[in-house]
Amino acid sequence: MTRDDAIALVCAEIDRATKTWKGWPSDPVHAAGVVAEEGGELLKAAMDYTYTWGDKDHMLTEAVQTAAMAIRFILAYQAGHYERRRDDLPEVAQ
């Protein structure tokens, strides 16, 4: 697989995911959680492949999904989409 092939897979996943889940979190904590969740699935796929004869292609699927969500995070950042939620924070003792 070439770099262009990998990028094409990620771009196709961005398009698919954007159609399926039109919204994206407006706060960076939840948006990063989406990226982290996909990364966790990639780690599980890698562990399954390494230790329990899991499907090798599942690692690629999860890597593509992780990359796609990371790019969605970046695109939202660049668009100024993220907000701080200061009003929702509890008071912290000094």
Give 10-37 pLDDT, tens digit per residue.
999 999 999 999 999 999 999 999 999 9
**Domain annotation covers residue 85:** no
pLDDT classification of 83: cutoffs 50, 70, 90: confident
Asked if residue 87 is part of any domain, the answer here is no
Q: What is the DSSP letter of 80?
A: T
Better pLDDT: 86 or 45: 45
State the pLDDT confidence band at 6, using cuts at 50, 70 and 90: very high
Q: Is residue 40 part of a domain?
A: yes
- Structural domain boundaries, residue 74: 3-16+26-80
Longest dimension (CA), the chain: 54
- Check residues 59 and 91 and name the one with the higher pLDDT: 59
Closest CA to 44 of 32, 59, 56: 59
Name the domain count of the chain: 1
- Summarize the confidence of residues 60-81 as an average pLDDT: 97
Residue 53 lies in a domain: yes
**Distance set, CA 29 to CA 2, 24, 84, 93 (Å):** 33, 12, 10, 22
pTM of the model: 0.88
Q: Per-residue pLDDT for 93 more than 70?
A: no
